[in-house]
Amino acid sequence: MVGAGVFGAATASELAGRGWDVVLVERYHPGHVRASSGGLSRVLRFGHGDDVWHTRSARRSLAAWGELEQEVGEELVVRTGMMWFAHREDGWEALTERTLRDEGIPVEHLTPADAAGAFPSLATDDLAFVLHEPEAGAIRADRATRALVRQAEQRGARVVVGHAQRDGDGVTVDGERLAGDAVVWACGPWLPGLFPGLVDLRITRQEAVYFGASADWRAGRVPTWVDYDGAAYGTGDIDGHGFKCAPDVEGEELDPDTEDRRPSESHVEHAREHIAHRFPALADAPVVQTRVCQYSLTADTRFILAPVPDAAGVFVAGGGSGHGFKHGPTVGRVMADLVEGRAEPDPAFGLGPREVGTKLRTAGAR
């Protein structure tokens, strides 16, 4: 198992729990700052428009995250509820509401006036309605990734730190060849370099900005939020890190090893503009920290969960596309089923080019 991000760690833990002898290879450190699974938090929401697979996957993963919390004795999920800010009656949020109701997942359709009291300050004059997912929230991302690795180790997996390279159907780690009945590559933004011409991903620079706010803006006192058409999302203050705003416009392409991860003034200003518009009381709030990460984008924002052609026992898991973290436990089970031959590969998650589709994250434009 190469790559100890959320997809790789979850797969390693699942296979170890099924009795496999698992070696989990990580180049840096589980939850490290250059990983797509690094960082302080990720949104945990069930709504994915009319996409039933991802809706069910997120719901199943919530239960699995809860089981992991019990096993490792650590709170990983911040249960805040989540609000979608809908700009029109017939958009993404309306599709999401219908799907959630069809799946029996709790959801509330709120008027802007009814939703305004969820935040100390909320501008709703440009909203048609607000969709509330009461059981959604956020995940402490780097901590959850490390917890999955600990779970894998407790189930018998061995963690090896080193630089892995493809070696036929096996793996070479710092000159030592490892071989097994199966190899799963879950290396996030490094996958295109490992599988040139086969893994079609665009790796983009993304930034999150954290604003200093009073205790009234703590996660739990305020819900997690997503503005699909406005291409931004965020959380209340989790563990004193600040009120998070992450503009979701897809950034320039980057190299995950060499990218300078200092914040850009334009992205910080974009986040402040959004905060000032939606949460007016925070218009002058100080920036207390920033985080630079990356998206590993497929054209249709669906994942890659697939065997590699003409390479028996070799698989790829990646293409999180900026919304994959919450699905980690489900992805682990899907990949374990593929490795064991319990399930056929789903063409929707296959390798190779894809047609551009509706984004499962936000509209991705200002």
pLDDT by residue, tens only, the chain of 366 residues = 999 999 999 999 999 999 999 999 999 988 888 888 988 999 999 999 999 999 999 999 999 999 999 999 999 999 999 999 999 999 999 999 999 999 999 999 999 999 999 999 999 999 999 999 999 999 999 999 999 999 999 999 999 999 999 998 899 999 999 989 999 999 999 999 999 999 999 999 999 999 999 999 999 999 999 999 999 999 999 999 999 999 999 999 999 999 999 999 999 999 999 999 999 999 999 999 999 999 999 999 999 999 999 999 999 999 999 999 999 999 999 999 999 999 999 999 999 889 998 999 999 854
Contact predicate 15/22, CB 8 Å: yes
Report the distance separating Cα 48 and Cα 251, nearest Å. 22
- Count Cα atoms within 13 angstroms, Cβ side, for 174: 8
**H helix intervals, the chain:** 6-17, 52-72, 92-102, 112-116, 141-154, 191-194, 265-278, 328-340
**Would you call 96 helix, strand, or coil by DSSP?**
helix
Q: Which domains does the chain have, with CATH numbers?
A: 6-349 (3.30.9.10)
| pLDDT score of 144 | 97
Task: Show the tokens assigned to 245.
Answer: 């705003």
Those residues with Cβ within 8 angstroms of residue 235's Cβ, 6 or more apart along the chain or in another chain: 41, 43, 78, 80, 138, 219, 224, 225, 243, 244
| pLDDT score of 365 | 59
Amino acid at 41: S
Beta pairing partners, 83: 132, 225
> How far, in Å, are 113, 156, 182 from residue 18 at the CA level?
50, 10, 14
Instruction: For the chain, give percent helix, strand, coil, nearest 5.
Output: 30, 25, 45
Strands of 263-355, DSSP E: 287-297, 304-307, 314-318
Backbone angles phi, psi at 115, to 5 degrees: -80, -20
Entry pTM: 0.97
> Residue 167 CB: number of other CB atoms within 10 A?
13
